[in-house]
A and B are shown apart, each in its own frame.
Chain A
Amino acid sequence: MKSSLYGFLFAMWILILLGGGIMVTLLGPFSIQQFGDFNWILASGIKVLIALVLVTIWILILLKLKNWMFKKEIKF
């Protein structure tokens, strides 16, 4: 069990690194030019939306991983 926990910790770390990479790649260069004064607000809103989607995907992957790694030990 304890080795599974270390494995889960390591997997979370890798997911954080990969998630960060995707976030920088997707959100970093993102900008909107066509809406004048609203550019900043629109760009921020879309960035928030993308970030929320990424976080949701991250949590779903983590849930799958948790079920896969710990289901044998605890019948839940």
Chain B
Amino acid sequence: MTELILPAVISCIVAFVVVFAMTPPLIKFLEKRNMAVKDMNKKENVMVVRPGGISIIVGIVMSELVLYAFLQLNEILAMLITTTAAFVIGYIDDRKVMGGWFKPVALALAAIPIIALGAYDTDLAFPLFGTVQIPVLYLALIIFMIPITGNTINSIDVLNGVASGFMVIASFSLSICLFIMQNYEIAIVSLPLGFVSLAFYKYHKIPSRIFPGDSGALTLGAMYGSIAIIGGVEIIAAIALLPAVINSFLFLSSVKKIVEHRQIKGKPVEHTNDFRLKATTDKSAPITLVRLILAGGPLSEKQVGFAIFKLTIFSGILAIITAFLMDVIL
């Protein structure tokens, strides 16, 4: 355990510093190239650059390579290849509008390195009831897990700072769970995700100076999903991610098909005269987490963001309780 402290500290510093230092020049570079989109939740015509996924992936790759130099785990390589592939998929989607099926299918293919490098265990562990061995089913779970986590994080990236702030809470909750379960190596592998998200949050928080874009959201989501698989904490990871899962669930159950957000005609959220957010009365608009939060009345963008963070802290606590329950068998 003590021999892991040095690589853990170095990789966390690298993850944070790289993203923190690289994002401002990236913002200037993207501004020069006019790679900006309108911030829809601002009264003025505010343009925000994207994709910030470039600094996120550099931070992840550099910090994980540091860890690989120390630990030389196949799991790190598998996670890195899958995460990088997710970044490329997201970057393609940032530059060129792709169909609704592109990302799920491409992300499913991105999960193949985890299988190819054997960075998984076919036992699915449940709290209170033990494990179940499902060799074939587990392969399907790997293929589905990366598209689900990637698109889930992407779907919650709707307000300033929400995706990165959400990932800070969810990934640190997952790291705590891995430490509780004494899976120290993968716990350390998971830490850079939290630090990368934290550094990016500095620039993504309201008022955003940069958006992560699909490349950033898919990178964060795919890394989270990969850690869940290589750490054998799939159930706990799903619990820590519950607010985003609810968002996707509400969206899919109201739209009833896999579709890009930009293809939806009715908007779930409208603006008041003072540009606070309010839930739409349009029955054709999809149900989302933000729409449900706003059902009680209009709120500012910042208030909605904090409401989501509170829900994420709640689900993080549930995930930590679940990690303790893993050792309890009825």
A-side residues, CB < 8 A to B, are 1-2, 4-6, 8-10, 12-13, 16-17, 20-21, 23-25, 27-28, 44-45, 47-48, 51, 62-63, 66, 70, 73-76
Contact = CB atoms under 8 A, between A and B. Distances in A.
User: Lowest 9 A-B CB distances belong to which pairs?
Assistant: A20-B126, A44-B136, A1-B296, A24-B129, A73-B295, A21-B129, A1-B295, A28-B132, A24-B132
A9 B292 CA distance: 13
Main secondary structure of the interface of A (DSSP, over half): helix
20 contacts: A1-B295, A2-B293, A5-B246, A9-B243, A9-B314, A12-B245, A13-B318, A16-B235, A16-B238, A17-B126, A20-B235, A21-B126, A24-B130, A27-B134, A28-B131, A45-B136, A47-B134, A51-B134, A74-B287, A76-B287
Interface string B286-298: 0101011101100
B56 interface: no
Contact of A10 (B283, B287, B318): B318
Main secondary structure of the interface of B (DSSP, over half): helix
A75 B292 CA distance: 11
Contact of B246 (A9, A44, A45, A51): A9
A47 B293 CA distance: 38
B258 interface: no
Interface in B111-148: 124, 126-137, 140
B292 A16 contact: no
B239 interface: yes
A75 B318 contact: no
Contacts of A70: 287, 292, 295
B250 interface: yes
A74 to B, nearest CB: 5
